[in-house]
Homo-oligomer: A and B are copies of this chain.
């Protein structure tokens, strides 16, 4: 597959992005990478590296979107940004997938504008993968939308389920709805309505899940509105960091602490590896007409490598087609469910 990488995206671009691309082609056989961005800067990074040259190419883009730019301004003024150019390559069929660790808002908006939504998708969503005690789960939507409707959440569940089964190989993934109590009556207007829709579908819906239980690893997909999902994601990120910092401080503060810290260092390393976002590479924007992976702004070369591999898998699986098929399969069923729910409410 041909994967486009926004070489200019992320806090450490272009050095780590180019490094990640080189590592990927050296490791993975069936991938070609197109680096988009400043030709000069990319060449400078590539120059002394060893890699199969026929599998990395460059497409020049004269502009770079910085991390704090306003989305509307970037869309208007940066028509030749690495993000825009990269997504155009997918649009024109010259590449199969796009990866960026750059401005996620601009990536989302550009993907939506230029690639468009899949037929039947009401709103695309970001599917973030998070580590648990036992493995991982997919949080969808992790921030593409706010003020979602029940039908949006139903589609997020559908897309998350397809992601879990097709990409992670989970059979019959368990889907849960993030809420504030396990009973179907608990939650807010949005979750109560979504609960009804999910209960009537043939998805493996296991009910509401509370915040305290998401990391236990009992479910594969956690569905929520993007406002909630983004807060959940960021709190998890911030808290995990805070816990580690506070704990380290407590450890070095006690007499036996420095020795203990020295002895436990390999364990901290293992823990960090297991919980490192870089392991998952990035979060796909699902529901658009093409593959688009959004990586963390602080992405390391390893994160870029994993994002490129993830993009490759999505493209190989023709994942957009899978979603389109699933949506169509549900289109008739959903009509009747939505109708039924509306009828119940009138009575």
Contacts and interface: CB of A to CB of B under 8 A. Distances in A.
A238 to B, nearest CB: 4
Interface in A251-269: 251, 253-254, 256-257, 259-264, 266-268
A76 B279 CA distance: 52
A222 to B, nearest CB: 11
Contact of A132 (B215, B235, B242, B271): B242
Interface in A181-237: 187-189, 210-216, 226-228, 230-237
A243 B275 CA distance: 9
Contact of A239 (B180, B240, B264, B270): B240
Interface string A60-78: 0000000000000000000
A210 B243 CA distance: 17
Contacts of A253: 267, 270
- Across chains A and B, which 5 residue pairs bring their CB atoms closest together, nearest first? A211-B234, A260-B263, A212-B238, A211-B235, A146-B188
Contacts of A271: 246-247, 250
A77 to B, nearest CB: 18
B211 A180 contact: no
B250 A260 contact: no
A1 B270 CA distance: 52
Interface of A: 132-133, 143, 146-147, 178-180, 187-189, 210-216, 226-228, 230-247, 250-251, 253-254, 256-257, 259-264, 266-268, 270-271, 274-275
A232 B143 CA distance: 15
Given A231-B180, A264-B251, A215 B188 contact: no
Contacts of A243: 239-240, 243-244, 275
12 contacts: A147-B189, A188-B227, A210-B231, A211-B231, A212-B235, A243-B243, A247-B268, A250-B271, A254-B266, A254-B270, A256-B263, A257-B264
A43 B235 CA distance: 45
Contact of A250 (B216, B250, B268): B268
Contacts of A262: 260
A228 B243 CA distance: 21
A26 to B, nearest CB: 30
A146 B187 contact: yes
A243 B237 CA distance: 11
A133 B250 CA distance: 11
Contact of A238 (B215, B238, B263): B215
Contact of A237 (B188, B212, B230): B212
Contacts of A235: 211-212, 214, 232, 235-236, 239
A214 B232 contact: no
Given A180-B230, A230-B180, A261-B264, A242 B211 contact: no
